[in-house]
Chains A and B, each alone.
Chain A
Amino acid sequence: MSLQSLQETAPLLTAMSIDGIEFLESVATEIQFPKGALIFDEDQTAGAFYLIANGKIGLEVSMLAREAHLIETLGPGELLGVSWLFPPYRWSWRARAMVATDVVAFDAEKTRRQCDKDPDFALHIYRTVAEEAVQRLHATRIRVLDLFPGSES
């Protein structure tokens, strides 16, 4: 799977320069996760970030002596992982494949170093991550309003 084939659906790649795409390709690995596979766990080092090509990934928080709770799910074209960009570079949540899922994993440390070297590339990465984070923040704020009365989970 080439990164170009994901360009239409993934905001990370839309409008990225050819040099930027070439760099990302050089630090990319394709990974397939079967349904239920753990992708990363809370407090682990955030050594990579992921672009979802197909499938669905759930972000979970583990609960003491209770089953984990799903916080949000992410689908094709979406970025998985923000913690790789900011110290202490550790995951805040657990990520699990909800169905068989194909991702492209990018090396976090090499991408951070490239950001230090190339301000245009850095701007694109930070802008994409910020836009994604703001959209998720808005959606989370609406969910906090608890719009649908009903049963407890």
Chain B
Amino acid sequence: MLPRSFRLTAKSQETPDTFTLVFEDPEHGEVRFRPGQFMMIYVFGVGEVPISIAGNPHKTHDLILTVRGVGAVTNAICALDPGMVVGARGPYGSGWPLAAAKGRDLIIVTGGIGIAPLRPAIIETLSRRDDFRDLSLIYGARTPTDLLYKDDLLGWESSADIDVEVTVDRASSEWWGDVGLVTRLLPRVRFNPPNTAAFVCGPEVMMRVVARDLTARGVPTQNVYLSLERNMKCAVGFCGHCQFGRDFLCRTGPIRSFHDLAERMRVDEI
């Protein structure tokens, strides 16, 4: 439970309010993690928040986080300068079930900052491409300016290994890409519904609509996985902050199948 000290070594601005930060822990070295896991990041004197690991799972020397400044702690993380130090404990959480997607078509649907916890999963699936059948990424953002990982997207778009579909909610006529909800792009990607797994991460309403659409097309509810982010405090199952129905999401989540969540996602205030 004790945090390790991580020093910021590099920082790049993704969008007006979102930064990708690279940390290292010179004392203890690497951070091994599974795609989809998160760390509790402590900014001294400000507070502690859960942030997903966004780096390459095979390059464990660096701890890479993508953070959108929305409040006290996330703004303090975004304001860090190289050389400054944060506390970090983890990794925590269940991670994306890549084993369950093996041998299947895999559709990754994400919106906004939701692409951060999926970036390691995309890198991992591409590194063992033969384990999966058709592989697609559908990514939505508010405007073209709000798209994260623009260099990665260019690389993935030019690869024959993954079908990448990007859409935004609003755009001027200078944008030649898609405009519309992520679900409108589902008919464009190839998948055989009964043998498809889907990883979905984004705002809760978006995830619900995507999960419904996928299951209506015949993807089994057990194969649709959502990342249900609830505020967390201890991250080890003590405090109950992350309780969702009978589950503590820091231990049994945040990634769960739609099959497990569907009923509870309809209940307000869980």
Query: Which of A's residues lie within 8 Å of B, judged by CB?
Result: 9, 35, 56, 58, 60, 67-73, 75-77, 96, 98-99, 135-136, 138-140, 142-143, 145-153
Contact = CB atoms under 8 A, between A and B. Distances in A.
22 contacts: A67-B174, A68-B172, A69-B171, A69-B173, A73-B177, A73-B179, A75-B185, A75-B188, A76-B188, A77-B187, A99-B176, A138-B209, A142-B206, A147-B205, A148-B111, A148-B146, A149-B17, A150-B142, A150-B145, A151-B143, A151-B145, A153-B145
B179 A147 contact: no
Contacts of A56: 178
Given A150-B15, A150-B142, A153-B145, A73 B187 contact: no
A135 B184 CA distance: 8
Given A35-B176, A147-B205, 15 more contacts: A69-B170, A73-B177, A139-B183, A142-B205, A143-B169, A143-B181, A147-B202, A148-B141, A148-B169, A149-B17, A150-B112, A150-B143, A150-B146, A151-B17, A151-B142
- From DSSP, what is the main secondary structure of chain B's interface residues? mixed
A58 B179 contact: yes
Contacts of B183: 139
Contacts of B188: 75-76
Contact of A70 (B70, B172, B184): B172
Interface in B159-194: 167, 169-181, 183-185, 187-188
B178 A147 contact: no
A58 B175 CA distance: 10
A40 B192 CA distance: 36
Chain B contact-residue range equals: 35 or more
Nearest to A60: B173
B172 A98 contact: no
Given A75-B188, A147-B111, A148-B146, A153 B170 contact: yes
B203 interface: yes
A139 B167 CA distance: 13
Interface in B178-229: 178-181, 183-185, 187-188, 202-203, 205-206, 209
Contact of B178 (A69, A73, A146): A73
Nearest to B16: A151
Contacts of B145: 150-151, 153
A67 B181 contact: no
Nearest to A140: B181
Interface centre among A68, A69, A70, A135 (most CB of B within 10 A): A70
B17 A150 contact: yes
B172 A69 contact: yes
B254 interface: no
Nearest to A99: B176
